[in-house]
């Protein structure tokens, strides 16, 4: 059984100096490929460097490159040129993490929208999929996406935590959906249980979002309290249960969807 983790924050400071063992533990747990998340231009460069250092063969570690809405205030006239150069690297498989976050508003909303639209335009020009972030902003994100969707090869709403209306609106736009350990959280994630069965096979992907969102159903719980890609099997188990599938069925179609979306090589 193979799994692909489509969202790993391997550049996070809590992982510093531990990256190689984390990748080894993930591989031992059946996570054969990972996509490292770029959340700023600097972090995107770091993710690319890590992927190259830890995966000399270029078959198991890939990354995204983009500017998160929290970092949108830093977007300037030079950002497009800088990001385009990153996107031209063969390890970089998607534009993002980009999107809208109206929950924390770390960057003013007009600046979030400006940075998002610039990155969507780049994705259209370069024919690349998009890795999207959205919190409390589904209506506005949908409005913006509708102007670009016909020209984008694909887009995924990563770490989906929303309600039924948002999910169906995203699916109507032919978007992919990323599910994390949020679904394993009995305090705030149970609304996802009846929803995940509505995501068509081929449009559902799994992600750890490590080091965040440690699955609360995981036993034993790691003493560090830190999530790792090696624990993605717990997300798989929970998703399969609520879709009425075996873990093998869910792993097969989510892995195939991720491989198509990011154009990843087959792993024998």
Q: What is the pLDDT of residues 48-86, one digit of tens each?
A: 999 999 999 999 999 999 999 999 999 998 999 999 999
Indicate whether 251 belongs to any domain.
yes
Domains in the chain, number: 1
* Cβ(36)–Cβ(91) below 8 Å: no
What pLDDT was estimated at residue 162? 95
At 239-255, the pLDDT tens digits run: 999 999 999 999 999 99
Whether residue 268 lies inside any domain: the answer is no
Residue 268: pLDDT band (50, 70, 90) is confident
Q: Does 246 fall in a domain? A: yes
Each residue of 132-164: pLDDT tens digit?
999 999 999 999 999 999 999 999 999 999 999
**Tokens 């950002």 correspond to what residue?**
79
The chain-wide mean pLDDT, for the chain, equals: 97
Query: What token pair was written down for 170?
Result: 């995203």
Which residues have a Cβ under 8 Å from the Cβ of 57 and sit 6 or more positions away?
Answer: none
User: What are the tens digits of pLDDT across the range 187-232?
Assistant: 999 999 999 999 999 999 999 999 999 999 999 999 889 999 999 9
**27 within a domain of the structure (yes/no):** yes
The answer, as to whether pTM is greater than 0.75, is yes
What CATH number corresponds to the domain at position 18? 3.20.20.140
Can you tell me the distance from the alpha carbon of 194 to that of 104, in angstroms, rounded to the nearest whole number?
Answer: 27
Predicted confidence at residue 247, as pLDDT, reads: 98
Three-state SS annotation for the chain? CCEEEEEECCCCHHHCCCHHHHHHHHHHCCEEEEEECCCCHHHHHHHHHHHHHHCCCCCCEEEEECCCHHHHHHCCCCHHHHHHHHHCCCCEEEEEEEEEECCCCCCCHHHHHHHHHHHHHHHHHHCCCEEEEEECCHHHHHHHHCCCHHHCCCEEECCCCCCHHHHHHHHHCCCEEEECHHHHCCCCCHHHCCCHHHCCCCCEEECCCECCCCCCCCCCCCCCCCCCHHHHHHHHHHHHHHHCCCHHHHHHHHHHHHHHHHCCCCCC
In this prediction, residue 223 carries a pLDDT of 87
CA distance 229 to 20: 12
Report the alpha-carbon distance of residue 129 to residue 123 in Å, rounded. Answer: 7
267 within a domain of the structure (yes/no): no
Give the mean pLDDT of 20-30: 97
Range of the domain at 50: 3-262
Q: What is the pLDDT of residue 77?
A: 87
């Amino acid at each position: 059984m193979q799994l692909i983790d489509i969202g790993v924050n391997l550049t996070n400071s809590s992982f510093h100096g531990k990256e190689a063992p984390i990748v080894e533990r993930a591989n031992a747990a059946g996570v054969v490929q990972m996509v490292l998340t770029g959340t700023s231009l600097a972090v995107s460069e770091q993710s690319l460097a890590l992927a190259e250092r830890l995966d000399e063969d270029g078959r198991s570690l890939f990354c995204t490159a983009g500017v998160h809405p929290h970092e949108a205030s830093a977007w300037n006239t030079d950002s497009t040129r800088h990001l385009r150069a990153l996107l031209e690297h063969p390890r970089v498989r998607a534009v993002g993490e980009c999107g809208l976050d109206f929950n924390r508003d770390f960057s003013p909303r007009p600046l979030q929208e400006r940075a998002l639209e610039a990155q969507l335009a780049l994705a259209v020009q370069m024919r690349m999929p998009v890795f999207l972030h959205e919190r409390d902003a589904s209506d506005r994100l949908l409005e913006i996406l509708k102007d670009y969707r016909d020209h984008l090869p694909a887009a995924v709403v990563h770490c989906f935590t929303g309600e039924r209306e948002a999910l169906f609106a995203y699916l109507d736009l032919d978007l992919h959906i990323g599910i994390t350990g949020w679904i394993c959280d009995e305090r705030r994630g149970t609304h996802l249980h009846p929803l995940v069965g509505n995501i068509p096979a081929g449009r559902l992907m799994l992600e750890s979002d490590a080091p965040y969102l440690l699955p609360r159903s995981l036993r034993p719980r790691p003493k560090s309290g830190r999530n790792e890609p090696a624990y993605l099997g717990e997300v798989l188990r929970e998703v399969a249960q609520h879709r009425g599938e075996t873990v093998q069925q869910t792993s097969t179609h989510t892995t195939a969807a991720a491989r198509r979306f990011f154009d990843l090589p087959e792993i024998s």
